[in-house]
Amino acid sequence: MDDRQQGYDEQAALWNGVAGQGWVRAQRVLDRLFEPMEAALVQAVVQRGPGQVLDVGCGTGATTLAVAREMGERGRCIGIDVSGPMIDAARRRAENEGSLAQFVCDDAQRYRFAAGSFDTVISRLGVMFFDDPVTAFRNLRTAMREGGVVRAIVWRSAAENPFMTVAEQAAAPLIPSLPARQPGAPGQFAFADAGRVSDILERSGWADIAVRRVDFACGFPAAELAGYVTNVGPVGRVFGDLDRDTRERVVRTVLPAFDRFLDAGEVRFTAACWLVEATAPSGEGLHHR
């Protein structure tokens, strides 16, 4: 098996297994936490006007639903995600609120989109997991109408996002099997290097590429912290496999490590991200690449 196939299989297995199930369980707190990013993406669609919008790595659908709500009958928002459990949750939400949003469960890197069918691609933290990002962004670009745009929010580095690694650092002595992060590998911080992101977009045929720093003030009730830690991220992924005693010790050890992020009953932190923007050039531009 080649490295790319293996990379895809690992991500697909993760998001169809523990990671996806953890995100479904923690959906309410995650949507609260990442609401400022949802607002920014909805705003980006509003600025361009209604149309055909694709939400890549849409997960349980918060941003897809928010954009569909905003556009009403004037446009369509389709979410694509490789995770069966997360797409099932997104479809349930859409049905419950009578949304026009639609969802596809598939790999956005390989899915055969109808060429030239979207005006805008959005993503909230959903494009860092491709085994071959250039192929993936080329695939997304061919799905765009001429002049269509991508607006994707991705994480900057782990060093700039200390909140995101608190749990694993505190839990590491108790969970020797906790997998170490692999810099640059598909995953949360794969797009931390802005130069690499620009290069990926350029090589996949996008134009007018901009990678801008953007910080989001995020928060959620402190009472939700244990649920967050035990469902999401590297600790959340292994938590269910630990014996009861270790689980209790992990919770007792990890929660106090978040003290510096607590303020008046709320967890508060800054999400250090890039807003990645680019345009699908005209057919002529594509021809010369």
Ligand X SMILES: C[S@@+](CC[C@H](N)C(=O)[O-])C[C@H]1O[C@@H](n2cnc3c(N)ncnc32)[C@H](O)[C@@H]1O
The least CB distance from residue 101 to ligand X, in Å, is 13
Would residue 49 be called left, alpha or beta, if left means φ above 0 and alpha means ψ between -120 and 50 degrees? Answer: left
Looking at beta carbons only, is 11 or 52 nearer to ligand X? 11
Q: Using the rule CB under 6 A, is 234 a contact of ligand X?
A: no
Q: Which of 103, 130, 155, 239 binds ligand X (CB under 6 A)?
A: 130
- Whole-number minimum distance, CB 259 to ligand X, in Å? 25
Question: Considering beta carbons, is residue 62 or 78 the nearer one to ligand X?
Answer: 62
Q: Between 57 and 281, whose beta carbon lies closer to ligand X?
A: 57
Q: Of 126, 148, 205, 236, which lies in the binding site for ligand X, with binding defined by CB under 6 A?
A: 126
Report if residue 59 touches ligand X, rule: CB under 6 A: yes
141 near ligand X, judged by CB under 6 A: no
Q: What is the DSSP string of the chain?
A: --HHHHHHHHHHHHHHTHHHHHHHHTHHHHHHHTHHHHHHHHHHHHHH-S-EEEEET-TTSHHHHHHHHHHGGG-EEEEEES-HHHHHHHHHHHHHTT---EEEES-TTT--PPTT-EEEEEEES-SS--SSHHHHHHHHHHTEEEEEEEEEEEE--TTT-GGGGHHHHHHTTT-TTPPPP-TTSSSTTTT--HHHHHHHHHHTT-EEEEEEEEEEEEEEEGGGHHHHHHHSHHHHHHHTTS-HHHHHHHHHHHHHHTGGGEETTEEEEEEEEEEEEEE---HHHHHT-
Q: Does 204 bind ligand X (CB under 6 A)?
A: no
Residue 108 or 150: the one with the smaller Cβ distance to ligand X is 108
58 near ligand X (CB under 6 A): yes
Stretch of 75-83, 221-229, 233-241, 273-281 lying at the interface with ligand X (CB under 6 A):
75-83
Among residues 70 and 107, whose Cβ is nearest to ligand X?
Answer: 107
Determine the size of the site formed for ligand X (CB under 6 A).
23
Tell me which of 34, 220, 228, 258 binds ligand X, using CB under 6 A: 34
224 binds ligand X (CB under 6 A): no
What distance in Å separates the CA atoms of residue 82 and residue 202, rounded to the nearest whole number? Answer: 25
Residue 108 is a binding residue for ligand X (CB under 6 A)? yes
Q: Does 120 bind ligand X (CB under 6 A)?
A: no
Chain contacts with ligand X (rule: CB under 6 A): 11, 15, 20, 30, 34, 57-60, 62, 80-83, 86, 107-109, 124-126, 129-130
